[in-house]
Amino acid sequence: MVWPTDELAAFFLVCFFVGLLFTVGSFLLGLGHSADGLGHGHHVGDGHFHLGGHGHAGAAGHAGHAGDHGAQQGGPSVFNLSTLMAFLTWFGGAGYILRTYYGAWLLVALGVATVAGLVGGALVFLFLSRVLYASERVLDPRDYFLPGTLARVTSSIRAAGIGEILYTKGDTRQVAGARSVDNSAIERGAEVVIMRYERGLAYVQRWDDLMREEEEEQARPDQPSTPATP
């Protein structure tokens, strides 16, 4: 590398190194973040359920909300740290070469360096939007709303005690401590529905009991309306 011939060349060189350092640093941090996310997420066939007006799971919910939980793709902004640092790197590198090795005039060096910076930023933006962000998913609050979620008991729930359940949210298996809403015992392997979630504990009810209560409620005749007082 040739030592800068004047202040403008030195300016280009500083821009190049600043952009390069930030670009390499953000790339390494991005790799670390991706590595942390590997190995998570197993798919299971359990569905999600609607809660009826009386706090019971409606039968229509048995089909789940698979269509509602489709992955929505996010995208990077054109003006983000990565594209700005890429612009700075290419701008500084091109300007330094033109000024130091070819003795380009100030306006020519600035103009060509700016075009080179825009090209570099555009390439990084395309890489981010087509590769890195292609697999990103926008968080859906429904993926983290537990009431009405079907689960399976993996560790027996003792009477008035605590056990463990396995359920699926956001295409990922989750494990949580659980107890019965009526303090009854529930054996391992039973299918249950999460009725509420409080202080890190899921309160569940057997799926069969829930369906039976729903059927009984639907079979009940409507209450006669009270005649209006003349």
Q: Would you state the pLDDT for residue 205? A: 93
Q: What stretches of the chain show up as alpha helix (H) in DSSP?
A: 7-37, 81-101, 106-127, 207-219
What distances in angstroms separate CA 200 from CA 1, 91, 128, 162, 203, one per listed residue? 60, 52, 37, 12, 10
Q: pLDDT confidence of 196, banded at 50, 70, 90?
A: very high
pLDDT greater than 70 at residue 160: yes
**What element of type H or E holds 178?**
strand 172-180
Cα dihedral sign, 14-16-19-23 = negative
Q: pLDDT confidence of 227, banded at 50, 70, 90?
A: low
Q: Would you state the pLDDT for residue 121? A: 86
pLDDT greater than 70 at residue 207: yes
Q: Which residue has the higher pLDDT, 45 or 200?
A: 200
Residues 110, 113, 115, 121: what is their CA dihedral angle, to the nearest 10 degrees?
-130
Report the interhelical angle of 7-37 vs 81-101 (nearest 10°): 150
> In the predicted model, what is the mean pLDDT of residues 150-172?
90
Cβ-contact 143, 170 below 8 angstroms: yes
> In the predicted model, what is the mean pLDDT of residues 13-38?
69
What distances in angstroms separate CA 187 from CA 149, 158, 216, one per listed residue? 18, 8, 24
pLDDT above 70: percentage of residues in the chain: 66
Q: Would you state the pLDDT for residue 127? A: 80
Q: pLDDT confidence of 141, banded at 50, 70, 90?
A: low
pLDDT greater than 90 at residue 129: no
Q: Would you state the pLDDT for residue 153? A: 95
Out of 27-36, 59-68, 97-106, which region has the weakest mean confidence (pLDDT)? Answer: 59-68
- Could you give phi then psi for residue 11, rounded to 5 degrees? -60, -45
Q: Which residue has the higher pLDDT, 53 or 8?
A: 8
> Model confidence over 73-95: pLDDT tens digits?
455 577 788 888 889 999 998 98
Most confident of 53-67, 184-198, 203-217: 184-198
pLDDT greater than 70 at residue 66: no
- Tell which residue, 192, 205, 177, has the closest CA to residue 54: 205
> In the predicted model, what is the mean pLDDT of residues 31-47?
40
pLDDT greater than 50 at residue 225: yes
* Rounded Cα distance, 178 and 149, in Å: 13
- Could you give phi then psi for residue 154, rounded to 5 degrees? -105, -20
Residues 6+ apart with CB under 8 A from 130: none
